[in-house]
A and B are shown apart, each in its own frame.
Chain A
Amino acid sequence: MIAVPRRLRLGKKDRSSLLVALPFVGPWVIGFLAFTAYPIYYSFTISFTRYSGFGEATPIGLTNYQHMYADPLFWKSMYNTLYYVALAVPVGLVIAIALGLAMNQRVREVAIYRAAIYAPSILPVYALTFIFIVLLNPRFGFLNYVIVTLGGPSINWLGDPGWTKISVVILAQLGAGGPALIFLAAIRGIPSELYESAALDGAGALRRFVYITLPLLTPVILYDLILGLILGLQIFTPAYVLTQGGAGAGAGQYVAGPDNSLMFYVLYLYKTAFQFTDMGYASALATVLFLVSVVLALAIMRTSKSWVHYEVT
């Protein structure tokens, strides 16, 4: 018989507490097991099969994973996604902090500014993307009008593979109001005595930001980085709308933007599953995405020990 470690033994009072707690956490646990844990397990198992989603799955071992290595669209979609994440996450972080600082200004009409900054975040990405298509028109769009008026070049935002992903990065910034609110809350949580002391010592606004605000925001920055990373790796809706479902239809006869430059990983996974009815390969793609997400998130967590400050020291 295996001895149960002492610390895991539950006393009468613990068992009683557990019985009270279980009905409260039970629904979540059941939901998690049924709708998250089991699908992940199921997806992992069918990644070793050839399966359309109907009928019997045919076991094929590691073939789907081997095929991935030779599949140019796998690499293309992975590159597009990592490119997007590498650009969108830091840019989004800087903009969210800037907006958080702007929302913290002591002016009478700050409530109006906060609402205006936050408002785009509550619009569906689907609707924003449609608006963006008009704003990004190379001949008649507002963005090019401003750039050309200022003496810059006319950019073919959605027709030049060098600019398509940057267009999506810009689009993503319309949702910066959400994280900005979290940064605002964090900024307001910083004790004012710290700023007063620093001001007495002669620190200017920039020094106060760099040596007080920024270090004390690092826990929220860590949260925003990991969340941005996970959401960035799953970027889908803008590409889906811009490419009309990646269905090969559209003006320039692209599949997913010129040179497949908007073929993001999840769009490719979606097409593989539902347009090419290859659930086995799509599941293998999902497994790899899961692993990439975990590895990148852990890497950020690992480095966080050296730059995240949870308290004033």
Chain B
Amino acid sequence: MRSFSGRGWTASLICLSVVVAACATGGGSSGPPLAGCKSGTTLATFWTSHTPPDSDSLKHVIDTYNGQSTVGCVKMVQVPGSETDVTKLMTAVRGGSGPDVYMLDRFTVAERAAAGVLTDLTKYGAGNLSSKYVDFAWKEATFQGKPYALPLDTDVRALWYRKDLLKAAGVDITPLDPANGPVTIDQVRTMANKVNQQDASGAYNVIGFVPWVDQGWHYTWGFDFGGSFFDSGTCKVTPNDPKIVSAFTTMFGDWAKALGPEKAQTWVSSFLPPNNPPQQWPFLTGKTAFIITGDWPLNWVKQYKPDLQYGVTYIPVPKTGDTPSTWAGGWSLVIPTGAKHADAGYDFMKYLAGPDGMKTYVTETQHLPTWKALGSDASLYQGDHVFFATKLLPVAKSRPPIPVGAFYWDQLSTAQDAVVRQSATADKALADVATNTNAKLQQFCPLK
């Protein structure tokens, strides 16, 4: 074997000195961790699965924070994920390379906290902020009485209607004015049926109203019929509450039967296929006259069809005089287990989920705030957004913050699908949901 030559030793020494110099420079630097941050701040990583325009707004808030904070310097990273899919987060945390702050769907906070993915924020004094947030949002941010998240934005659902389609079908749209209070389901059914259009083969070109698409979820109609999805006293989910059964029967089973389940599903597959882009949303393209959705399509209308003749009103109620209802979702900020710069991360969370950061975020995204004081700030809302903020948010309910929330959602969706397709009665499908979900839930009971 040849001996190591003098040239080889020289090359090795040069390499070694470069590495040592690089380490020395990195360790001894006193400059800011990122451009736009102040010197001496700690770099904190923030992960979000949001995409533009929401992620653009987050970037604006972060730029402002970085420019003024003497504690943290935040780097935002967009990662794959969705409301219930946090695979990237879980594998990273388990591998010791998770972020310092993560943006998590708020209704899954209890579930992720129970799994051990999140840091208890009690030591940061997060509990003292409870009175600053709207009640349902704060409840969702806690598990077993401890805070695991700071609430960020929220959203609520409403009935949207196309004025032009309804008028063209000879419908008097006066009752739909929200100033008249909520319309009844029967009224909407009568109006919607006048809009239905079928081609020669019987396939629907336009359907007045398909109550189970978009945000016409199990929770939407269950709450609307006055149902309760969880009994905290017995620590059991209650999907077979007679009011929820009635909601499923009326809005899914009977409605699909009247339209023809297969024809209605063909319309859904045609005009709302998987991963449908917002510009092809059937409400925009005139394929439906009514749809249950949230406040976020206000931006789609502005962007893709600003001349749309539409209105927004309460979700229709079962009978005249019933109190209108809706439900609210939204996101939150959490510190994953094992975060390396949790202190800097929490400092950023307080800013983004506080009055200044949240104001910028909800103003730009047209989402709704969870910070109570911002709820009455009229400058945040424009146009129809005022209705969502002032009329719907105060009556909004929220999904039960239980540690099997994602599983419960899946079970309810499976039941909804079965009832729409007429393959099960609401009674049977929801009884199965109760059995399956309670079996999973019992390991966490009692819940505080």
Residues of A whose CB lies within 8 Å of any CB of B are 50, 52-55, 72, 130, 133-134, 137-140, 154, 156-161, 241-245, 247-255, 258-260, 270-271, 274-277
Contacts and interface: CB of A to CB of B under 8 A. Distances in A.
Contacts of A139: 203, 266, 270-271
Contact of A260 (B86, B111, B414): B414
A138 B270 contact: yes
Given A53-B90, A138-B269, 18 more contacts: A52-B117, A138-B270, A139-B271, A154-B266, A156-B266, A159-B265, A160-B262, A247-B82, A248-B406, A248-B409, A251-B268, A251-B269, A253-B416, A254-B417, A258-B417, A259-B423, A274-B86, A274-B87
20 contacts: A50-B443, A52-B116, A53-B116, A54-B116, A54-B117, A156-B269, A160-B262, A244-B82, A245-B85, A248-B406, A249-B82, A249-B83, A251-B268, A252-B269, A253-B420, A255-B413, A258-B417, A259-B421, A260-B417, A274-B86
Interface string B175-213: 000000000000000000000000001010000000011
Contact of A277 (B117, B276, B416): B117
B253 interface: no
A134 B406 CA distance: 29
Interface string B417-436: 11011010000000010001
Contacts of A130: 275
B416 A274 contact: no
Contacts of B85: 245, 247, 274-275
A251 B413 CA distance: 12
Given A159-B268, A276-B404, A277-B90, A254 B117 contact: no
A162 to B, nearest CB: 11
Chain B interface mostly:
helix
Nearest to A55: B116
Contacts of B404: 276
Nearest to A50: B443
A81 to B, nearest CB: 18
B274 A250 contact: yes
Interface in B270-294: 270-276
Contacts of A258: 265, 417, 421
Contacts of B276: 251
B90 A255 contact: no
A245 B217 CA distance: 18
B301 interface: no
B410 interface: yes
A274 B90 contact: yes
Contacts of B115: 52-54, 277
Interface residues of B, number: 51
B262 A252 contact: no
Q: Which of A55, A134, A159 has the most CB of B within 10 A?
A: A159
Contacts of B416: 253
Contacts of A54: 93-94, 115-117, 337
A111 to B, nearest CB: 36
A156 B83 contact: no
Q: Which of A72, A243, A258, A275 has the most CB of B within 10 A?
A: A275
A228 B417 CA distance: 32
B422 to A, nearest CB: 11
B239 interface: no
A50 to B, nearest CB: 7
A40 B217 CA distance: 39
Sorted nearest first, the 10 A-B pairs with minimum C-beta distance are A54-B116, A251-B272, A159-B269, A52-B115, A277-B115, A139-B270, A274-B87, A55-B116, A159-B265, A248-B413
A263 to B, nearest CB: 9
B407 interface: yes
A160 to B, nearest CB: 7
Nearest to A277: B115
B337 A251 contact: no
Given A245-B82, A276-B406, A251 B274 contact: yes
Nearest to B414: A255
Contacts of A50: 443
B139 interface: no
A249 B82 CA distance: 10
Contacts of A156: 262, 265-266, 269
Given A156-B265, A277-B90, A277-B112, A252 B272 contact: yes
Contacts of A275: 84-86, 406-407, 410
A159 B275 contact: no
Contacts of B443: 50
B324 interface: no
Nearest to A153: B201
B114 interface: yes
A113 to B, nearest CB: 33
B272 A248 contact: no
B417 A255 contact: yes
B441 to A, nearest CB: 12
A53 B90 CA distance: 8
Interface string B318-334: 00000000000000000
Contacts of A242: 274
B334 to A, nearest CB: 14
Given A52-B116, A253-B216, A253-B413, A276 B266 contact: no
A276 B423 contact: no
Contacts of A133: 273-275
Interface string B93-118: 11000000000000000011011110
Given A154-B201, A160-B262, A259 B417 contact: yes
B265 A137 contact: no
A95 to B, nearest CB: 25
Interface string B233-266: 0000000000000000000000000000010011
Interface string B281-318: 00000000000000000000000000000000000000
A158 B410 contact: no
Contact of A254 (B83, B337, B413): B413
B378 to A, nearest CB: 33
A55 B93 CA distance: 12
Nearest to A240: B85
Nearest to A60: B443
Contacts of A241: 274-275
A248 B410 contact: yes
B308 to A, nearest CB: 21
Contacts of A277: 90, 111-112, 114-115, 117
A161 B269 CA distance: 12
